[in-house]
Amino acid sequence: MGYAREILRKSVHFGSLILPAAAIFVPRMEMVLILTALAFGMLIVDIIRSRNKVFRKFFLGLFGKVLRGKEQDGGMTASTVLMASAALTILLFRTEIAVSALVFLSVGDSFAALIGKRFGKTVLVSGRTLEGSLAALLSCLVVSMPLMQISSARGWALSPAGLAAGALAATLAELFEIPLDDNLRIPVLAGLVMELVIPG
pLDDT tens, residue by residue, 121-164: 898 887 889 999 999 999 999 999 999 999 999 999 999 999 99
Number of domains in the chain: 1
Closest of 34, 196, 31 to residue 99, by C-alpha: 31
| 131-to-3, 103, 142, 143 alpha-carbon distances in Å | 16, 20, 16, 18
193: buried, middle or exposed (CB in 10 Å: 19+, 13-18, 0-12)?
Answer: buried
- The whole-number pLDDT of residue 137 equals 97
Tell me the whole-structure pTM to 2 decimals. Answer: 0.91
- The whole-number pLDDT of residue 85 equals 96
Phi, psi of 75 (to 5 degrees): -75, 165
Band of residue 194 on the pLDDT scale cut at 50, 70, 90:
very high
94 and 28 Cβ atoms separated by less than 8 Å: no
- The whole-number pLDDT of residue 74 equals 67
- The whole-number pLDDT of residue 200 equals 75
DSSP symbol at 176? S
H or E segment to which residue 173 belongs: helix 160-175
Give Cα 4 distance to the centre of its chain.
20
C-alpha 86/C-alpha 98 separation (Å) is 8
What percentage of the chain has pLDDT greater than the value 70?
96
Average model confidence (pLDDT) across the chain = 90
Domain of residue 77 covers 3-197
- CA 175, 176, 182, 187 torsion: positive or negative? negative
Q: Kindly report, residue by residue over 92-132, the tens digit of the pLDDT.
A: 999 999 999 999 999 999 999 889 888 988 988 878 899 99
